Amino acid sequence: MIKKIVIICALITLINGKNHSEVETIQNFPKSKIEEYFLCIFVRFINAANKQTLSWNYNPKIINGENAKEGEIPYQVSLQNKFSSFHFCGGSILNENYIITAAHCVNGKFAEDIKVVAGTINLALPKYENDVHKIIIHEKYNYSDSWKNDIALLKVTPFVLSNLISLVPLPSPDDIIKPNDVATVSGWGRLSQGGPTTIYLQRVNILIANQEYCKLMYNKLNYNVYETQICAYYPTSEKGSCNGDSGGPLIVEGKLIGLVSWAMGCALTDYPTVYTRVVSYLDWIKNIASNRFSKLFTESNDEHIDEIRGKKAKNKSNG
């Protein structure tokens, strides 16, 4: 009985205390069980008196991954609280002025409270920090409908591009992504469920899921999976993102295919994680973030860096 109450307590904590700045996780709580609910309140009261809480951790994490190498994922950024330096979400450098991330990461937040940390794989080492000046959430973002249109852009103090800070290549509408294609997801946080946090950027390879299978599994739970979303997981081993890494990149063949959005649970082998499908939003991204110095579509980072450096050198010589 006690075990049952503890489980229900955890579910209540999850549903009522859910932080939308972290990856969304489906839970089903039987609301009719009033007795257990009040028993749960009693148990939580007793534990609070002992300075304990019955709650689940939501810190970002990559499950069964490995440390990323310096410069391996130069577009990966950490979104942090400006005052506490608490890492709450991931993101990618879209161009010198914009970060791309998940809408639920920044929904309800103020730009002046967020900083972007870039150019590092170790959050404890010196790094580049950029202020956020504006948050642009997709106008049709809907967390109550399977986190539909879970995408946002952050306008930031311009980045200085280097070997450690560069742009994430975007996909083309002509790119063909198939089930079982290898994808890489990355982020900072806990290394296992309830385990220690990490200051080192983690990466792990997973597989693109069959879209119809993903739809079928979530439809059983009365959740939708839309064509503007893409699913990925590792069917034979617990690998992937978990209760966080939100807004971070899902990469296939060097291009940003998805943004970590929501899942049934932590790196499950039967329920894939659902990602925002970036190619569905290319026009939206371009309308907001494109400018004369930014090549957003399919150009290599090296070509873009050379162009920027060339323009600066020309301006300097003319001055």
Cα–Cα distance measured from residue 120 to residue 188, given in angstroms and rounded to the nearest whole number: 11
CA angle 144, 146, 149 (to 5 degrees): 95
What is the biggest distance separating any 2 CA atoms in the chain, rounded to whole angstroms? 79
pLDDT band at 240, cuts 50/70/90?
confident
Asked which of 160-174, 189-203, 286-300 is least confident by mean pLDDT, the reply is: 286-300
| Sequence ranges of the chain with CATH classification 2.40.10.10 | 73-156, 181-279
User: In sequence order, which residues have a C-beta less than 8 Å from that of residue 68 and are 6 or more positions away?
Assistant: 76, 121, 186, 200, 201, 202, 203
What average pLDDT score do residues 287-292 get? 76
More confident residue, 45 or 160: 160
Cα–Cα distance measured from residue 186 to residue 78, given in angstroms and rounded to the nearest whole number: 11
What positions carry a catalytic annotation? Answer: 104, 150, 246
Residue 267 tokens, joined = 């790196």
Region of residue 130 (left: phi > 0; alpha: psi -120 to 50; beta: else): beta
Alpha helices by DSSP H, the chain: 2-16, 34-49, 103-106, 211-219, 282-289, 301-318
Residue 110 has a pLDDT of: 98
**Whether CATH 3.30.160.100 fits 181-279:** no
User: Does residue 2 carry a pLDDT above 60?
Assistant: no
CATH number of 73-156: 2.40.10.10
On whether the pTM is more than 0.85, the answer is no
For 112, counting Cβ atoms within 10 Å of its Cβ (0-12 exposed, 13-18 middle, 19+ buried), the class is exposed
More confident residue, 256 or 14: 256
Asked which of 80-84, 240-244, 279-283, 290-294 is least confident by mean pLDDT, the reply is: 290-294
User: Does residue 33 carry a pLDDT above 70?
Assistant: no
User: Does residue 59 carry a pLDDT above 50?
Assistant: no
Asked which of 14-28, 36-50, 117-131 is least confident by mean pLDDT, the reply is: 36-50
